Structure 1
Amino acid sequence: MPELLAVCRVFALLPDAGTVGVTAIDKRPVDGRVKARPYGLYADVQADRANHGGLDQAVYAYSQEDAEVWGAELGYEITPGLFGENLRTRGLEVSRAVVGERWRVGTALLEVTQPRTPCQTFARRLDSPPRWVRRFTQANRTGAYLRVVENGDLGAGDVVEVVHRPTHGVTLTDWFGAFNRLDGAAVLADVAKALVVAHDDGELRLSDEMRERAQQVLDR
């Protein structure tokens, strides 16, 4: 069964060269159980809520499997929290989750909303590997942002149970690959249409960002 390997919260706010001036990307594992609420994990911080937070990006998950790929490429271990994630999972294809998929983790219910878009703050966190933003984009191993549908608590060792998977079938990888025109990606208009139709039919609720971008594609 897929499981939660670690729960991570902000360790310290770090100075950053970005417009906000600080970043909460320094996440590290914590012991015990942690409450999940609409704006994320208890005692976590969103320094740039406009771009990396809010209700639709309350929690960020990354898989151990994807972390190990990056570890081999970068030459060091991608420890839980190093990518700024709140949840490190094992046995779950996080980057290939269907948009709107729901996970039961502990007593919390989480919903997959959108992929992570890499930024220079992320690159600086890793001491700026060459062309990091481009490399992360092209790899299409984005991890998943989630909203908290039902408050609850979770902790390392919990099973991650996929309790609902929308029938539209569009994954985070599908959308991110198409939107960024990666090699072998699906047709962007087809992916955007499937998401908007599912949203309009009530099958899922797209994040504001995803809804706006998908609609812009269809309006071209």
Structure 2
Amino acid sequence: MKLLSLNLGRATAVPYTEQPEGVTGIDKRPTDAPVRVSAPGPKGVAGSGLAGDAVCHRRHHGGDDQAVYAVAREDLDDWERELGRPLASGSFGENLTTLGLDVSGALIGERWRIGSEVVLEVTCGRIPCRTFQDHLGERGWVKRFTVKGAPGAYLRVIEPGEIQAGDAIEIVHRPDHDVTVALQFRAVTTERELLPRLLPAGEALHPESLAQARKYVAEHPG
């Protein structure tokens, strides 16, 4: 398992973003240079956990619980076959393009060591938005991506440091539950009856998903 590509985005003006300023950092490009990774701070104020990576729409993106976004190269390859077009690493706006790692099958709370310093913890899957759809230029993309159910994973930073493309990835902790990123994604999008199944992940789960699960259980006793 390794970090195939490390991708950073710059704030770029586009005609389609939901951001009032008309800019987005979704168009991320690979870099060969080492990049500092650290917890950025609270959502709504802080941006990316990667130095030099722009997060423009901070109401829904960035912050400690969504500090880093990872997508498996294998999933991009699968989409290439389905869409009939090439998808470069970084095409989905991911910071980390991995190889040999089942990202959407990762457990909430699972921890990855990347290189010799950085440890990240899986929190949730990525919810697609109109900016993502327009960036790819695929009609009906939000629905297609949601139905596919392989959203990639957001991660929080447990141990900061530097990472670089080519670094080894090691799973250093797997929690004792069966709540995967794919399950969390289905529960908060198309199958809300699955929300109670998220509770064993506890505080490792993204706070918004945990709140949704607790609310659902309170409203559906028994």
TM-score (norm 1): 0.89
1:181-220 maps to which residues of 2 (within 5 A)?
181=190, 188-195=194-201, 199=202, 204-220=203-219
Aligned to 1:18: 18
SS at the partner of 1:50? coil
CA contact (8 A) 1:114 1:172 kept: yes
| Aligned pairs, number | 208
Aligned to 1:153: 162
SS at the partner of 2:172? strand
Aligned to 2:30: 29
String of CA shifts for 1:82-120, please: whole Å, max 9, x gaps: 110000000000011100100000111101011000000
TM-score (norm 2): 0.88
User: Hey, what's the Cα distance between the residues in 2 that align with 1:189 and 1:31?
Assistant: 40
The two structures, once aligned, show a CA RMSD in angstroms of 1.6
CA contact (8 A) 2:70 2:97 kept: yes
Letter of the 1:10 partner, please give it: G
2:169 counterpart of 1:168: no
Aligned to 1:122: 132
Q: 1:11, CA displacement in angstroms?
A: 3.7
Identical positions, percent: 43
Residue ranges of structure 1 left out of the alignment (5+ in a row): none
The 3 A distance-change label for structure 1 pair 148 and 113 is same
CA contact (8 A) 1:14 1:26 kept: no
CA contact (8 A) 1:192 1:215 kept: no
Q: 1:210, CA displacement in angstroms?
A: 1.6
User: Hey, what's the Cα distance between the residues in 2 that align with 1:188 and 1:86?
Assistant: 29
Letter of the 1:100 partner, please give it: G
The 3 A distance-change label for structure 1 pair 17 and 189 is closer
Residue ranges of structure 2 left out of the alignment (5+ in a row): 41-48
CA contact (8 A) 2:196 2:213 kept: no
SS at the partner of 1:121? helix
Q: 1:187, CA displacement in angstroms?
A: 5.1
CA contact (8 A) 1:64 1:90 kept: yes
1:86-105 maps to which residues of 2 (within 5 A)?
86-105=95-114
Q: 1:192, CA displacement in angstroms?
A: 3.0
Letter of the 2:197 partner, please give it: V
